[in-house]
Amino acid sequence: MLGFYYFDYELRYDLVPFIESTYNTYANIEDTSAKAIDFNRKHRAIAGLSMGGMQALNLILGGFRCDSVVYTGTETRWKNGLDTTVHAPGMEDLFAYVGAFSNAPTSSDGKTLGTTISSSSHRIDLLYMTCGDADEVAIERGYKIATTELSQAAGDKLLDYYEVIIKDGLHDFNVWNNGAYNFVRLAFEKQRRETKGRASFNLLF
């Protein structure tokens, strides 16, 4: 379970390099020049649902990792045996487009996420967050906590920002499919405008 909260290492050092060395992509993680980093991040997008949405926020934008209260010696807020520990550095240097659909309750609060975005040397070009208003898992303990004060704290480092509430939506694929469809559409359109041509980037779900 704790691997969820340290997945950024696998993403940066294993998964993204594997994808970009195996498939024909515009992005190339091996080129670490400042110009290449700026180019590459605009050709990558990442999004997740539920626990994956939490990971997209905590690990990509830069929130808190979680660990077992057995090791932290603290109380859990979520009644799941976990509590926050150290702050994740964020991965804004890899991704310009981020989506979180019905993000899980262990998502960091909006002020923490926004503050990390504002201190990054890279902007988030698109952040798309959605949840169903009848989602008993995520709406109160995940989505609302993560969106509160996020845009204010991020300032001008957060460009296009969407908070989408689905009426009568539950913690299910009706909400998630809608989120995935709109996130991909917005990310591709934004990337197409910025490159003045055809949009193409790595999309990780």
CATH number at residue 20: 3.40.50.1820
Strand spans (E) along 15-168 = 44-49, 64-68, 82-87, 97-101, 124-132, 158-166
More confident residue, 77 or 41: 41
Q: Worst-scoring range by mean pLDDT, 30-34, 57-61, 82-86? A: 82-86
Type of residue found at 145:
I
- Split at pLDDT 50, 70, 90, the class of 21 is very high
Q: Is the pLDDT of residue 83 over 60?
A: yes
pLDDT at 108: 92
Q: Which domain holds residue 99?
A: 2-62+90-204
Which residues contact residue 36 at a Cβ distance below 8 angstroms, ignoring those fewer than 6 apart?
28
Alpha helices in 105-143 (DSSP H): 110-119
User: Does residue 81 belong to any structural domain of this protein?
Assistant: no
Q: pTM to 2 decimals?
A: 0.87
Q: Is the pLDDT of residue 1 over 60?
A: no
User: Does residue 165 belong to any structural domain of this protein?
Assistant: yes
User: Does residue 47 belong to any structural domain of this protein?
Assistant: yes
User: Does residue 188 belong to any structural domain of this protein?
Assistant: yes
Total of domains in the chain: 1
User: Does residue 145 belong to any structural domain of this protein?
Assistant: yes
User: Does residue 148 belong to any structural domain of this protein?
Assistant: yes
pLDDT per residue as tens digits for the range 123-182: 999 999 999 999 999 999 999 999 999 999 999 999 999 999 999 999 999 999 999 999
User: Does residue 71 belong to any structural domain of this protein?
Assistant: no
Q: Are 28 and 202 in contact (CB under 8 A)?
A: no
User: Does residue 70 belong to any structural domain of this protein?
Assistant: no
Q: Are 135 and 169 in contact (CB under 8 A)?
A: yes
Q: What backbone torsions phi and psi does residue 91 show, to the nearest 5 degrees?
A: -135, 40
Strongest mean pLDDT among 51-55, 117-121, 184-188, 189-193: 117-121
